[in-house]
């Protein structure tokens, strides 16, 4: 398939003249760095007086309103660790100047990260290329790290228009993994969190294991969540593990991101998925596209995971993910302790899933486990409504064609799960598998095709002509349609009886 991306990352590497954020700063000094023609003996305050090295930049203490400008086309081998803090009115800005390729910082695998922002606030970092590839994979290797320890509220960190590539961390999560970007807050002496953290218009590719992940205050006994976290309009490619994972956040917004072309390189049993919160509340995940995830355990496009309250997953496009469209889970044997208050009040609505659940090999569970929707453990009060889920004919008979599968995790089952006004389409599905789940309700869903088993749905319908239409979806259908017009959807086979209204999504 081809794809259309909304803005930002795909333009980041083009030859252009950077526009410095002068509108953000009314005071402060501009400093210039040129790896080819600069000298650390210079003043650094004009292009012809540019500094030359990262060491010179790292030795300085910058002030509110300062601008640190790297010359386009320049490259440095080393690590950038700037010092000083800006203010809300006068942030410190890292950007580029001149025409040409993005200025590049290559960590060469010698440090944890090629760029480190530690215990500083009110910084905007944009228009850099960052790599950190060593001679062999190493656990914990990153492209860029934002770290706040024992400093209280760390405010105003904005990462924009960055290209972060070729980071060879470990492929194994329990060994320490690796990622393009790590956001890390903590400390025992002073409760610490991020407020106003933005990651926008970045292009992340060939990074192992993960894309954007967090390490924060995840235990409920130490709950001090980061606020005003926004992850928007980023492109993640050739990343085999977890794409975007907020941890220890309240109210994080994850929107207009694309994750695709995930290589099948994770070891057997190593779990990963596309976009999902962990130990976070009120996360809003919307207008994202996840495809081609190949993790050998989980491997879904989207997930509301452990210890998360009030997650909303809406207006997303999921397709061709080995493990399925959706995972919702929590672990029963840790529920109620100082870590885990539960996964509750999850809402999944107005999403499109096509050809998810295509795993072609055995898993830790029996068979080639990859249902479209997997709900595991004591998840409570989950509402899944107004989603369109299309499961085409599987290439091989062993591939799991189950629509919904409930499971026990840690001794507990899901409770109070509601499926309403969804459209499930499959030419030959194993149907719906339940177990010890309690008070599961199906209402007004449409089941089109052939299913080995169907749930008890007294108000459900079994043909396309009776499917929930625009009345059932309201204005939300037009919202989803407008989003999908930026995507290239597959041409559906005529044998797939999609209701007439929803064929509009496919340009028919």
Question: CA-CA distances (angstroms) from residue 26 to 21, 65, 141, 159, 265?
Answer: 10, 7, 37, 21, 49
Tell whether the model's pLDDT for residue 13 goes beyond 50: no
More confident residue, 37 or 497: 37
Chain position carrying tokens 């080819």: 36
Residue 56 · residue 40 · CB < 8 Å: yes
Res. 336: pLDDT tops 90: no
User: Residue 87 above 70 pLDDT?
Assistant: yes
For position 21, what pLDDT does the model report? 41
Helix (H) / strand (E) containing 484: helix 475-484
**Topology (CATH) of 8-264:** Pectate Lyase C-like (2.160.20)
pLDDT given at position 10:
45
Query: Over 80: is that where the pLDDT of 61 sits?
Result: yes
**Is the confidence at residue 109, as pLDDT, over 60?**
yes
Tell me what pLDDT residue 508 has. 65
Residue 321 pLDDT class (50, 70, 90 cuts): very high
- Residue 471's pLDDT band (cuts 50, 70, 90): confident
The pLDDT of residue 251: 99
pLDDT, position 208: 98
Question: What is the spatial distance between Cα 158 and Cα 202, in angstroms, rounded to a whole number?
Answer: 11
Buried b (16+ CB within 10 A) or exposed e, 253-273: bbbbbbbbebeeebeeebbbb
**Token pair 């989603």 is at which residue?**
387
pLDDT grade for 209, boundaries at 50, 70 and 90: very high
Confidence (pLDDT) at 15: 37
Backbone CA torsion sign across 354, 357, 361, 367: negative
- Rounded Cα distance between 174 and 28, Å, is 44
Question: What's the pLDDT at 486?
Answer: 93
Find out whether 271 and 242 touch, Cβ atoms under 8 Å.
no
Burial profile 449-475: b = 16 or more Cβ within 10 angstroms, e = fewer: bebeebbebeebbeebeebbeeebbee
pLDDT for 246: 98
User: pLDDT tens across 241-287, in order?
Assistant: 999 999 999 999 999 999 999 999 999 989 999 999 999 999 999 99
Q: State yes or no: pLDDT of 354 exceeds 80.
A: yes
Percent of the chain's residues with pLDDT above 70: 95
Q: Where are the domains of the chain?
A: 8-264, 268-275+288-508
* Mean pLDDT confidence for 343-360: 96
Which H helix or E strand runs over 406?
A: strand 402-407
Per-residue pLDDT tens for 359-416? 988 887 777 999 999 999 999 999 999 999 999 888 888 888 899 999 999 999 999 9
Q: How far is CA 242 from CA 8, 178, 207, in A?
A: 22, 10, 11
Model pLDDT, residue 265:
97
Residue identified by tokens 């499109």 is 352
The beta-carbon contacts of 4-8 under 8 Å, at least 24 apart in sequence, are: 4/486, 4/487, 4/488, 5/235, 5/258, 6/233, 6/256, 6/486, 7/201, 7/233, 8/161, 8/200, 8/201, 8/202, 8/203, 8/233, 8/234, 8/235
Q: Does the pLDDT at position 14 exceed 50?
A: no
> Which pLDDT belongs to residue 392?
81
Q: What is the pLDDT of residue 174?
A: 94
Residue 143: CB atoms within 10 A of its CB come to 30
Give the pLDDT score at 394.
80
CB atoms within 10 A of CB 500: 12
Cα-to-chain-centroid distance, residue 484: 19
Give the pLDDT band of residue 496 (cuts 50, 70, 90). Answer: confident
Between these two residues, 117 and 494, which has the higher pLDDT value? 117
pLDDT at 153: 98
Mean predicted confidence (pLDDT) in 52-62: 99
Q: Which residue has the higher pLDDT, 502 or 73?
A: 73
In this prediction, residue 363 carries a pLDDT of: 83
The pLDDT value recorded for residue 22 is 37
Asked if the model's pLDDT at residue 11 lies above 90, the reply is: no
pLDDT of 470: 72
Q: Range with the lowest mean pLDDT among 248-252, 320-324, 424-428? A: 424-428
> Which has more pLDDT, 424 or 466?
424
Question: Looking at the predicted structure, is the pLDDT value of residue 454 above 90?
Answer: yes
Q: Beta strand 244-245 with 129-132: parallel, antiparallel or unpaired?
A: unpaired
Joined tokens for residue 438:
């309690």
Give the predicted TM-score (pTM) of the model. 0.93
């Amino acid at each position: 398939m081809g794809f259309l991306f909304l803005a930002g990352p795909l333009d980041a590497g083009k030859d252009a003249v950077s526009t410095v954020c002068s509108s953000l700063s009314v005071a402060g000094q501009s400093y210039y760095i040129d790896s080819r023609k600069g000298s650390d003996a210079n003043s650094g305050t004009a292009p012809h007086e540019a500094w030359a090295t990262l060491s010179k930049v790292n030795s300085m203490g910058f002030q509110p309103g300062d601008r640190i400008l790297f010359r386009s086309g320049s490259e440095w081998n080393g690590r950038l660790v700037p010092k000083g803090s800006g203010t809300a009115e006068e942030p410190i800005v890292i950007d580029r100047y001149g025409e040409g390729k993005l200025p590049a910082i290559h960590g060469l695998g010698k440090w944890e990260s090629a760029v480190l922002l530690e215990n500083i606030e009110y910084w905007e970092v944009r228009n850099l290329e960052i790599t950190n590839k060593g001679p062999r994979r190493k656990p914990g290797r990153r492209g860029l790290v934002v770290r706040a320890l024992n400093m209280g509220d760390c405010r105003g960190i904005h990462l924009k228009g960055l290209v972060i590539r070729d980071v060879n961390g470990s492929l194994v999560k329990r060994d320490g993994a690796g990622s393009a970007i790590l956001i890390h807050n903590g400390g025992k002496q002073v409760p610490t969190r991020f407020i106003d953290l933005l990651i926008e218009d970045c292009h992340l590719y060939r990074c192992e294991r993960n894309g954007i992940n967090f390490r924060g205050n995840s235990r409920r006994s130490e709950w001090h969540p980061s606020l005003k976290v926004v992850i928007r309009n980023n492109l993640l490619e050739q990343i085999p593990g977890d794409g975007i994972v907020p941890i220890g956040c309240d109210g994080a917004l994850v929107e207009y991101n694309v994750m695709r072309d995930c290589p099948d390189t994770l070891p057997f049993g190593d779990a990963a998925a596309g976009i999902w919160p962990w130990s976070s509340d009120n996360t809003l995940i919307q207008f994202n596209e996840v495809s081609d995830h190949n993790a050998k355990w989980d491997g879904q496009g989207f997930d509301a995971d452990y210890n998360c309250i009030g997650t909303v997953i809406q207006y997303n496009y999921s397709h061709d993910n080995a493990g399925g469209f959706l995972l919702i889970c929590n672990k029963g044997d840790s529920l109620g302790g100082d870590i885990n208050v539960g996964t509750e009040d999850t809402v999944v609505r107005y999403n499109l899933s096509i050809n998810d659940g295509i795993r072609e090999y055995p898993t830790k569970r029996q068979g080639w486990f990859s249902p479209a929707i997997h709900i595991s453990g004591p998840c409570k009060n989950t509402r899944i409504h107004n989603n369109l889920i299309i499961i085409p004919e599987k290439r091989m008979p062993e591939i799991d064609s189950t629509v919904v599968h409930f499971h026990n995790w840690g001794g507990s089952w899901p409770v109070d799960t509601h499926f309403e006004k969804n459209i499930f389409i499959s030419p030959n599905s194993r149907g719906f598998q339940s177990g010890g789940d309690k008070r599961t309700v199906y209402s007004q869903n449409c089941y089109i095709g052939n299913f080995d088993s169907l749930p008890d749905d007294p108000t459900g319908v079994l043909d396309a002509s009776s499917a929930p239409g625009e009345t059932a979806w309201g204005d939300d259908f037009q919202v989803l349609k407008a989003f999908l017009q930026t995507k290239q959807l597959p041409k559906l086979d005529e044998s797939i009886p999609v209701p007439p209204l929803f064929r509009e999504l496919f340009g028919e």
